[in-house]
Amino acid sequence: MYEILTGPLLWIAFAVFFVGLAARVVMYFMGLDWRLDRVAYKPHMGYGLKGAFRSVYRWLLPFGTYSWRAKPIFTIMFFVFHIGLVIVPLFLEGHAVMIRNGLGIDWPAMPQLLADVLAIAAFLAGLGIAVRRLLLPEVRILTDIKDIMLLVLILTLLGSGIIATYHTANYSFWITLHVLCGVIVLLAAPFTKLSHIALIFCTRIQIGMDFGIKRGGMKSNFDW
């Protein structure tokens, strides 16, 4: 099982992930329509890019926007969750070894202790986000089965990875579960809400251009 998962299937999953997300990004920008969106993107590209940059930058900063500052606990959970999910998979020693062996690239890795801290923190933040989803009426009303499944998938991915790191008695079970979840995430990303991995930048760029070009950006910068 483990061999199949880490063999050709993993490469297929990566291909689906990158090609799929790239296709969604291309389709997104091709599908923008200056008349229907009511934003003259091309004639004011300078203002547009400035607005887009500010819109992405401010939202990438923890507490960088009014919205982040209005909900500090959620903001902390959000950033801890996402930082863990982006940084750890890329620079974990265990992953770096696979990349070095598979691609022959000298891939950097982060100290194991840091990776552990980030991963466990991300797991706890993810749990917090799940609890919030179930507790707050304004979030519960929006929640559907897909949202729950996605959270379960990501928490299983994180949890099994953390447990496997400690080479417990059932190592092969946990590592197989971990890789399985990873493969599912890669395969599902372009077709589910996980597509926000790439599309969040698209939508933030678009709304930034909207405010930058049409809704006042030529007179004052929107203070996100």
Partner 1 sequence: MPEGTICNKRPVATREDLDALLADSNGKKYYAEMEQLDVDAEKLWATIQKTMKSRTKTWLDICAHCGLCADSCFLYSVNGRDPKQVPSYKIQSTLGEIVKKKGNVTNEFMRMCMDTAWSKCTCCNRCGSFCPYGIDMGVMFGYLRGLLHSQGFVPWELKIGSGMHRLFRAQMDVTVEEFVDTCEWMVDEALEEWPCLEIPVDKEDADIVYMINAREAKHYPEDIVEAAILFHVAGENWTMPSEGWEMTSLSMFAGDWEACKMQVETVYGAMERLRPKRMVATECGHAYRATVIEGPYWAGRPDGQPPVECLHYVEWVAEALETGKLKIDPAKRIKEPVTLQDSCNYVRNAGLRDCGRIIMKHIAEDFREMSPNKEHNYCCGGGGGFNGIGRYRKQRNVALKMKREQILATGAKFVIAPCHNCWDAIRDLEEEFEIGIRWSFLKPLLIKMLVVPEHLLPQE
**Chain residues that interact with partner 1, rule: CB under 8 A:** 27-40, 43-44, 55, 59, 66-67, 70-71, 74, 78, 133, 136-144, 147, 193, 195-196, 199-200, 202-204, 206-208, 210-211, 213-224
Contact 62, 68 (CB under 8 A): yes
| Closest to 128 in 3D by CA, of 200, 182, 62, 79 | 79
- The residue among 108 and 216 lying less far from partner 1, judged by its C-beta, is 216
- The residue among 151 and 180 lying less far from partner 1, judged by its C-beta, is 151
Smallest distance, partner 1 to C-beta of residue 42, A? 8
d(CA 180, CA 183) in angstroms, rounded, equals: 5
- The residue among 90 and 151 lying less far from partner 1, judged by its C-beta, is 151
Is the torsion defined by CA of 23, 24, 29, 34 positive or negative? positive
Smallest distance, partner 1 to C-beta of residue 184, A? 19
Smallest distance, partner 1 to C-beta of residue 145, A? 11
Is the torsion defined by CA of 11, 17, 22, 24 positive or negative? positive
| Closest to 207 in 3D by CA, of 38, 15, 74 | 38
Q: Tell me the Cα Rg of the chain.
A: 20
The owner of tokens 């070009």 is 213
Smallest distance, partner 1 to C-beta of residue 220, A? 4
Helix (H) or strand (E) holding 167: none
d(CA 85, CA 159) in angstroms, rounded, equals: 12
- The residue among 124 and 180 lying less far from partner 1, judged by its C-beta, is 124
Smallest distance, partner 1 to C-beta of residue 41, A? 9
Smallest distance, partner 1 to C-beta of residue 13, A? 21
Beta-carbon contacts of 103 under 8 Å, excluding residues fewer than 6 positions away, are none
- The residue among 12 and 136 lying less far from partner 1, judged by its C-beta, is 136
- The residue among 123 and 224 lying less far from partner 1, judged by its C-beta, is 224
